[in-house]
A and B are shown apart, each in its own frame.
Chain A
Amino acid sequence: MVQFDLAARPLRELNAALHALPLNTNETHWEIINPDGKHAIAAGLDAPVTVEIKGNAGYYCAGMNQVATVVVHGNAGVGVAENMMSGRVHIRGDVSQSAGATGNGGLLIVEGNASGRCGISMKGIDIVVKGSIGPMSAFMAQAGNLVVLGDAGEALGDSIYEARLFVRGTVKSLGADCEEKTLGADERAILAGLLAEAESDASVDEFRLYGSARKLYHFHLDNADAY
């Protein structure tokens, strides 16, 4: 295991070292100590390594992640795993706004709560939040799955496209063009798979599914009061 002390060496050095790893590297396990909320820790990784961050991370931790596994043993700031392409990002604590924003793939797991705009403009990422999520989550969500074991805040899925939103608890309100959907066999299988990956024992039967009503897919004057 490689240990990197962010109190002693600069972030730029860490990220450069991680980016330089070849795909067949044998330095596959990294431990980052003293992160102290620094921003962009482990951003832009593209090698099959595991990076464990021992403490709290700042903004954009694991941003644009590809292939790698990043575990934060603490909380993470704004935009954790933003635009993630693949791999796995696991946050042991809570996360701030815009978690998984615009993510294209991979799995983001949040053990605690996520603030507002969780999954905003998500494009294929899977997100599992074991706590609750804040307002305007999944705004303009295009593709992928958002699983919430707790509650969802106001305007869930506003202007949503084709993403699926699974919520176990209450939904304070739905956003424009978001509606409850039937939880069919395909969706149940997707949900069960994500719960298993996130090591949750929640029952699929406890969830409701929300998605696009597809009424705003074409701009029309009759929908003006919805905009």
Chain B
Amino acid sequence: MSTTPHRTLPKYSATFDRHTISEIQRAAATGIYDIRGGGAKRKLPHFDDLLFLGASISRYPLEGYRERCGTDVTLGTRFAKKPITLKIPVTIAGMSFGALSGPAKEALGRGASLVGTSTTTGDGGMTPEERGHSTILVYQYLPSRYGMNPDDLRKADAIEVVIGQGAKPGGGGMLLGQKISPRVAKMRTLPEGIDQRSASRHPDWTGPDDLEIKIEELREITDWEKPIYVKIGASRPYYDTALAVKSGADVVVLDGMQGGTAATQDVFIEHVGLPILSSIRPAVQALQDLGMHRKVQLIVSGGIRNGADVAKALALGADAVSIGTAALIALGDNDPRFEAEYNALGSTAGAYDDWQDGRDPAGITTQDPELASRLDPVLAGRRLANYLGVLTLECQTIARACGKSHVHNLEPEDLVALTIEAAAMAGVPLAGTNWIPGKSGF
């Protein structure tokens, strides 16, 4: 009688999982680290770990579809002669012409303008198309100063001094040569086709004392008209927020590690910085300790996907949120209709993140004219406007259920956490308890 040996199924290691093994194999074959776009893809404590309580006997809800729930936000009330008012508390994050195609930048401007919010330039300067299609445009002031000039500075509605971004706090950037078209090269005063390094440090100031003087210079050049934002990658949110306020910022932009980048090392994206959930309360605490909460506005970003995320960020104390990755998806990034082309690039719709290599089938993260022409900026702008509208409606739905006549009236007391980690990070009670780890007894 023959005997068949009993064998268990092949066992994959939790430590050396399939992706880890493929990365080791890739590194061994190529000798270079993996560069990609996007933000952290690992599982992180996030807004999904929070829940709203809604109204109850002790809380009175507002009538959905009937009673007004305001969504407007005014930014730059501290020093600027001309603060900007957005109709919705969702803005479009800085993304460069160069990283993105011209039609993509135009679509972002069109979509944001349709719903009364702002869009933001990126590394590489301001294009006329972008200015023309953006009712409210924030001009980023970056370490590289690519394309930086005082005429565009004066054309902007606000200025964002970029210290860092969530995907790579402490890192600069590299726009690879295949995306350096003649126009991109000219705007950046660099030869065509070379890999362009974006500096990680500003060239003419170091530290918060200098930053204060730099901000003063920008205000002098623009006659104190423009709101000045300071954007930081989430790493030391309490101190960085406090120092930004001390330096004279009108608005602090705080970007968590889920926030996307055009191109950075995967190891940097996944292992440096903080998730946005853990960063909002320390930043708000800094503002409160300085008596500046709601006087210096706080915009947070990094993994905002739906109106619940918006509502939770506002409830934790932010004045507005910013979206980048979600906006690109709304334009058409990772569209399943390009599945065959994603497959040809070794990826699949929903996972495509090679934004650095300029071969984006959706025509968004590319400078290839044929690919870029695939994106209809009018249609894509409409999609973005639709999406921004949904985010706002969803946020209002939740706010009304919590009895709020304005989304800014959401507060931490409206929230509980599903995990101990989220409770500690967000500073709200673990669901079913009064326990806020680190703050109150169990």
A, B from the same assembly: yes
Question: Closest approach, in angstroms, between the C-beta of A114 and any C-beta of chain B?
Answer: 13
Contact of A121 among B144, B210, B221 (CB under 8 A): B144
Out of A59, A60, A161, A218, name the residue touching B190 (CB < 8 Å).
A161
Partner of A83, one of B149, B177, B220, B224: B149
Closest Cβ neighbor of B149 among chain A residues: A85
A176-192 Cβ-contact flags toward B at 8 Å (1 or 0):
00000000000000000
Q: Residue A168 at the B interface, CB < 8 A?
A: no
Mask for A8-52, Cβ within 8 A of B = 1, else 0? 000110011001000000000000000000011001101000000
Determine whether the beta carbon of B213 is less than 8 Å from that of A60: yes
Chain A residues whose CB sits within 8 angstroms of the CB of B145 once the complex forms? 83, 102, 121, 123
Residue B295 at the chain A interface, CB threshold 8 Å: no
Task: List B residues 178-199 near A (Cβ within 8 Å).
Answer: 188-191, 194-195, 197, 199
A113 within 8 A of B: no
CA distance A46 to B31 in the complex (A): 51
Chain A residues within an 8 Å CB radius of B174? 219
In the complex the two chains form, what is the Cα distance from A45 to B310 in whole Å? 42
Q: Is the CB of A15 within 8 A of B150?
A: no
Asked if A147 CB lies within 8 Å of chain B CBs, one says no
Q: Which residues of A contact B29 (CB under 8 A)?
A: none
Provide 27 A-B residue pairs closer than 8 Å at the C-beta atoms, listed in order of the A residue: A11-B220, A12-B220, A12-B224, A15-B223, A39-B213, A39-B217, A44-B222, A46-B150, A59-B214, A60-B213, A60-B214, A63-B221, A64-B150, A79-B205, A83-B148, A102-B148, A102-B204, A104-B149, A120-B203, A121-B199, A123-B189, A124-B189, A142-B190, A161-B194, A162-B190, A162-B191, A218-B194
B203-A43 in contact (CB<8A): no
**Roughly how many angstroms separate A104 CA and B220 CA in the complex, as a whole number?**
20
State whether A43 touches B189 (Cβ < 8 A): no
- Pair A59/B220 contact, Cβ less than 8 Å: no
Report A66 CB to chain B, min CB distance, Å. 6
Q: Do most interface residues of chain B lie in helix, strand or loop, or is the interface mixed? A: loop
A161 and B203 form a contact (CB under 8 A): no
Contacts of A78 in B (CB 8 A): 204-205, 210, 213
Which 7 pairs across A and B sit closest by C-beta, in order of nearness? Answer: A44-B221, A79-B204, A98-B204, A217-B194, A102-B145, A64-B150, A40-B217
Indicate which residue in A102, A124, A162, A218 contacts B177 across the interface (CB closer than 8 Å).
Answer: A218
Choose among A40, A123, A159, A218 the residue that contacts B216 (Cβ–Cβ < 8 A). A40
**Cα–Cα, bound, A64→B219 (Å):** 12
How many chain B residues touch A (Cβ–Cβ < 8 Å)? 32
Choose among A78, A123, A124, A139 the residue with the greatest number of B CB atoms under 10 Å from its CB.
Answer: A123
B191 near A161 with CB under 8 A, answer: yes
Q: Is the CB of A40 within 8 A of B195?
A: no
CA gap between A58 and B204 in the complex, in Å: 13
User: Is there an interface contact between A19 and B204, defined as CB atoms closer than 8 Å?
Assistant: no
Given the interface contacts A40-B213, A59-B210, does A64 sit within 8 Å of B203 by beta carbon?
no
Are B221 and A43 in contact, with the CB atoms below 8 A? yes
Cβ proximity bits A58-73 to B, threshold 8 Å, 1 near / 0 not: 1110011010000000
Inter-chain contacts of A124 with B (CB < 8 A)? 189
A91-116 with Cβ < 8 A to chain B: 97-98, 101-102, 104
Task: Tell whether B32 is near chain A: CB-to-CB under 8 Å.
Answer: yes
Cα–Cα distance between A104 and B186 once the two chains are bound (Å): 12
CA–CA, A57 and B374, complex, Å: 53
CB contact under 8 A between A64 and B221, given known A44-B150, A59-B210, A217-B194: yes
Q: Which of A16, A40, A60, A162 contacts B204 (CB 8 A)?
A: A60
Q: Is there an interface contact between B213 and A159, defined as CB atoms closer than 8 Å?
A: no
In chain B, residues 210-252, which have Cβ atoms closer than 8 Å to a Cβ of chain A?
210, 213-214, 216-217, 220-224
Question: Of A16, A63, A98, A218, which is within 8 A of B223 by CB?
Answer: A16
Chain A residues with CB under 8 A of B216: 39-40
A143 at the interface (CB under 8 A from B): yes
In this assembly, does B153 line the interface, its C-beta being within 8 Å of a C-beta of chain A? yes
Residues of the A chain whose Cβ atoms lie less than 8 Å from the Cβ of B224: 12
